[in-house]
Structure 1
Amino acid sequence: MFHSPRIVRWLVLIVASLGAVSLLEMVHLPAALLLGPMFVAIAFAVAKKGVALNRTLFRASQAVVGAMIARAMPLDVFKEIAHTWPIFIMTVFSVIAVSTILGALLAKFNILPGTTALWGSSPGGATAMTLMAGNFGADVRLVAFMQYLRVLLVTLLATIVSHFLAPESAAVSVVAQLEQPIVWSAFVLTMAIIAGALLLARFISLPAAPMLISMVMINLAMNVGGLQIELPLPLLAIAYAIIGWSIGLRFTKDILRYAFHALPAILFSVLLLIGICCVFAWLLVEYAGIDPLSAYLATSPGGADSVAIIASSVSVNQPFVMSMQTGRFIAVLCLGPALSRLVARWLHQ
């Protein structure tokens, strides 16, 4: 049985992914659990040694990611949004406007296809943007390339900035997270809600429905029902691995060649967006009295999940940081489809 080529490929894929995650964790990259499996899957796909992923497992992984995002939205986040709503509106929508313009320009100059450029430039959660992009005619592979390139750069810069502005802080290691006890009653309830979201998603036609429905249900259960949401690291690691594999296995030599051909322009747009967001952070420090590290993390155009990991390990105003990141994520989820259609019409004029 273990001599079956399909089983051997799966075993090699899993072992290689574990090795890649370990290497990325050694350099303290918050997105290692997703990027490691994705890089390995790209190598498999290019070598034409791909495997078939079960669609139900992929949808279940989306739902787990939705629960993870919802867990980062406690009531404190929404209270902070209400408390600082003028700053919140100006900052969030300024970042979205800049990223939309950059995406539209990438499409206008034929560097990337229209909707692909827009979704790849969107400053929401990288995983969520990649999952949703395919429902709006974007090339998921190129969107993933743009999103995770930005995650890599933003995370590296955020880690460096955090090191200098909060040198006494230390990130929580994966080993320490694994040693945390699991509250099994809360875990069972969390899994039951995720299962309910998966079932409901079969009857509701929404982009990335399992993720969005799970996010809403988990958030209501946590903030309205007062339930503890338990998502052990091994569960998140499996979900991230499945999503990483699903993205990576879609790559081909041609798409990689295209991506690297467009790399200079993509890299320039990413660095420009990061630079503009740094200007927004400076404005928050100068005119809103926000401390520099909180302002930088709040305006950082990386994924909300990676910023949440960094913010949890340093001395910052976490409700402010997560209100900005979460608010921008929700705004992009709501406005992304409309902006995608608007840019598509502008390009065809």
Structure 2
Amino acid sequence: MPLPRPLRLSLSAWPLPVQWLALLILAGAAGQSLKHFEVPAGQFLGPMLVAIGFGVSGARIRVPRQAFRLGQGAVGVLAAHSMTLAVLVSMAQSWHVMLFATLLTVCLSALVGLVLVRLGGLSPSTAAWGTAPGAASAMVSMADDFGADARVVATMQYVRVVCVVMIGALASHWIGAPTGGNATHGSDASLQGFTLLNLGLTLGTLVFGVLLGSRVPAGALLVPLLVGGALQISGLLHITLPGWLLALAYGAIGCYVGLRFDRPTVRYVWGRLPAMIGGAVLLIALCALSAWLLAHWLDKDFLSVYLATSPGGLDSMTIIAVDTHADVGLVLAMQTLRLFAVIVSGAFFARLIIKWAS
């Protein structure tokens, strides 16, 4: 496939303050517009799509990683608002099913990796790391250590994240799930004992959790979730997150992911993009089929199990789960379990795919 022609609209010559101003205005407008039309996770999806457009149009700005981590921490604290003793007991009773679902998703990703090697023209090592269902940044780092093409792996991971978010939002809308869960959480926290002290303690928990989780995979989301959940269950903290703070958090995560799709990277992987998108959609379809079977087994609603088994994007799936009133505890538990499973088993499955492909 020939390389794409240079885009007529180039933002590279724009001054950086102008690029930032345009991104903030357009991303905010897109997020609020999708929220107005009740698109699931619209405040995350809108900024991400705008940022992708900016990235491939030559924008030279990048969201600071610390802002991205603070956004993840806000999502973690928001999810902690849903954690109760009943949710924890339900998760403990279903541990064997969650473990089975995790292993099934990891095996399906290895199968898709083999398909991409045979039909997509990707090298076995690159396909193995690129199809790993989760922990995108960790997979890119580990892939580079194992001699895979880190640029292709990074693009595969983030292409899959975009596909997962888009299809997840469409599936939620098609199923008819109610939206506005993030607003509900924010209003609940505001109406039930909102004080500056509670807001300050919540923000302190968020920042402390992000700092504490700096060396843990997905720690910026998981540690604030664990700390905030423990403090709330013990009665020491009433989590308070205003709607404007959640909008900023969603926007930071969406823009961080979207701006990763810069023009040089897209040009480099242009010929492989159809195979990447096809592989991502195939993996999502296989996971959706397994979710349909597991939903009957667990006697859970399909949307919750589908979000729990979606291949990658712990923060984005949590946002959609909260926004659509899905079972946040189940989604968090299975996504977190798979995150660690992918990190632990990544090298093993990479060697397995390389062996089978040869």
TM (normalized to structure 1)?
0.75
**Structure 2 vs 1, CA of residues 71 and 264 (structure 1 numbering), >3 Å: closer, same or farther?**
farther
User: Could you list the runs of 5+ residues in structure 2 that have no partner in the other structure?
Assistant: 1-13, 145-149
Q: What is the percentage of aligned positions where both structures have the same residue?
A: 28
AA paired with 1:18? G
**Structure 2 vs 1, CA of residues 38 and 231 (structure 1 numbering), >3 Å: closer, same or farther?**
same
Matching of residue 268 in structure 1 with residue 278 in structure 2: yes
Aligned partner (choices 10, 13, 24) of residue 14 of structure 1: 24
Q: CA RMSD in A?
A: 3.6
Q: CA deviation at 1:26?
A: 4.9
AA paired with 1:99? S
Aligned partner (choices 320, 334, 337) of residue 343 of structure 2: 337
Which digits, 9 at most, give the CA deviation of each residue in 1:269-316, with x for residues without a partner? 34433443444344346556556666656655575325413641xxxx
Matches within 5 A, 1:246-261: 246-257=256-267, 261=271
Aligned partner (choices 143, 146, 153) of residue 157 of structure 2: 143
Residue 99 (structure 1) aligns with = 109
Matching of residue 200 in structure 1 with residue 212 in structure 2: yes
Residue 111 (structure 1) aligns with = 122
Which digits, 9 at most, give the CA deviation of each residue in 1:296-345, with x for residues without a partner? 56655575325413641xxxxx5xx4444222212122112122222333
Which digits, 9 at most, give the CA deviation of each residue in 1:242-295, with x for residues without a partner? 233233333222422455543443343344334434443443465565566666
Residue 56 (structure 2) aligns with = 46
**Structure 2 vs 1, CA of residues 311 and 301 (structure 1 numbering), >3 Å: closer, same or farther?**
farther
In the alignment, the residues of structure 1 paired with residue 184 and residue 334 of structure 2 have an alpha-carbon distance, to the nearest angstrom, of 30
**Structure 2 vs 1, CA of residues 75 and 265 (structure 1 numbering), >3 Å: closer, same or farther?**
farther
Q: CA deviation at 1:241?
A: 1.9
In the alignment, the residues of structure 2 paired with residue 20 and residue 344 of structure 1 have an alpha-carbon distance, to the nearest angstrom, of 39
In the alignment, the residues of structure 2 paired with residue 192 and residue 278 of structure 1 have an alpha-carbon distance, to the nearest angstrom, of 38
AA paired with 1:334? F
Would you say the 8 A contact 2:102–2:338 is kept in 1?
no
User: Could you list the runs of 5+ residues in structure 1 that have no partner in the other structure?
Assistant: 164-168, 313-317
Aligned partner (choices 185, 188, 197) of residue 200 of structure 2: 188
**Structure 2 vs 1, CA of residues 84 and 228 (structure 1 numbering), >3 Å: closer, same or farther?**
same
AA paired with 1:343? F
Matches within 5 A, 1:165-180: 170-172=178-180
Q: CA deviation at 1:146?
A: 1.1
Matching of residue 326 in structure 1 with residue 337 in structure 2: no
Q: CA deviation at 1:15?
A: 0.7
In the alignment, the residues of structure 2 paired with residue 289 and residue 246 of structure 1 have an alpha-carbon distance, to the nearest angstrom, of 36
Would you say the 8 A contact 2:130–2:139 is kept in 1?
yes
Would you say the 8 A contact 2:27–2:47 is kept in 1?
yes
Would you say the 8 A contact 1:75–1:223 is kept in 2?
yes
Would you say the 8 A contact 1:63–1:194 is kept in 2?
yes
Which digits, 9 at most, give the CA deviation of each residue in 1:215-238, with x for residues without a partner? 332232233455322222221221
